[in-house]
Amino acid sequence: MNQVHAHISGVGHHVPSRLVTNQYFNDLYQKDIDTFLKERRNIHQRYFMEEGECTSDLIVPACQRALVMAGKTVDDIDLIVVATDTPDYISPSTAAVVQHKLKATKAGCFDVNSACAGFVTALDMANKYIAADASYHNILVVGAYGMSRYLDFDDYKIASMFADGAGACVVSRTTEGHGFLASELYADGQYHDYMGIYAGGTSQPLSQASLDNKAHLLNFAKKIPVETNAVHWPRLTHSILDRIQKKPKDIDTFFLTQLNIDTINAALTSLELPKEKSHNVMDQFGYTGSACIPMAISDAVAKKKLKKGDLIFMLGSGGGMSMAALAMTWGFDS
């Protein structure tokens, strides 16, 4: 009997229609924001939701595109997992909203929140569902970000980097031998109060005081060591490589959290790999948090950069601090 694997059978991404260039922030703050964003972050533009749009509105078109590529319909989907820290509601799950909007009535659903590590974490979960339970054949895994709703526009360093978008993958059962190989999760909870949106939960219920203190907006309360990703991404990569008996040079493409191009390049340098090994999309989309890795994968497929059998590494990092790393062999020519 052939061994069961999970693989990505279709991808899709979506951004809202409102294009915001760096010039918008130059004009807003009456200073040169553009040069730093381009040279140090590789951010040229981003997209913001219009008034009345919400995170699920970004997710649905991304899912529909992923389904078309995979050759599936909503009736084929057994489970929907939405990774986001900008949900439609605190409760219920955004995945429930997506299930309703897609009319995917046969699918169970839940959200995952490990901040910007959420999508890779959700992929890992989907892989394990398929491996553990024969009733799961196709799972929609989504990374979504609507951070424009939580930006403090008095802080130009934060407001100019973040953006909105969604990326989706159909994760399917296969016996063809390609697919997910290994994964590893890492967290360091001492950083839980360093970066986040801190009002609205039980710790800081919404109140006039929390609104006055802007606790309902994205806040970098303390400075996470700048070398964090540049240290842990190579470490996690080596850990997984050892398990699958591969070397860094065997990796064809990296998909990494798209916050800081300097950090991405530093991690690749540490692995003695060229920076071209990472497929980056922050120049097109800004920083889209939990959506950036699936958006980058979808963009790479659209640009025909992935081949069947390619060794792919994903490394996501988010507030908390949470990290997720995953290796897979790609299943189709893009």
Above 70 in pLDDT, residue 2?
no
pLDDT in tens, 257-284: 999 999 999 999 999 999 999 999 999 9
Per-residue pLDDT tens for 134-188? 999 999 999 999 999 999 999 999 999 999 999 999 999 998 888 999 999 999 9
Between 27-41, 144-158, 201-215, the lowest mean confidence (pLDDT) is in 201-215
- Omega into 321 within 30° of 0, i.e. cis? yes
Q: Where in the chain is the domain with CATH 3.40.47.10?
A: 5-177, 181-329
Handedness of CA 218, 222, 226, 232 (dihedral sign): negative
The two three-digit tokens of residue 324, written as one number: 């997720």
Q: How far is CA 168 from the centre of its chain?
A: 9
Closest CA relative to residue 144, chosen from 107, 172, 180, 119: 119
> Domain 5-177: what homologous superfamily?
Thiolase/Chalcone synthase (3.40.47.10)
**What is the identity of the amino acid at 27?**
D
User: What beta strand segments (E) does 29-137 contain?
Assistant: 45-48, 79-83, 108-112
Does pTM surpass 0.85? yes
- Which CATH number does 181-329 carry? 3.40.47.10
Written as one string, the DSSP assignment of 298-311 is HHHHHTT---TT-E
Mean pLDDT of the chain: 96
Contact yes or no for 318/116 (Cβ under 8 A): yes
Cα–Cα distances (Å) from 52 to 88, 195, 244, 295, in that order, read 11, 26, 46, 23
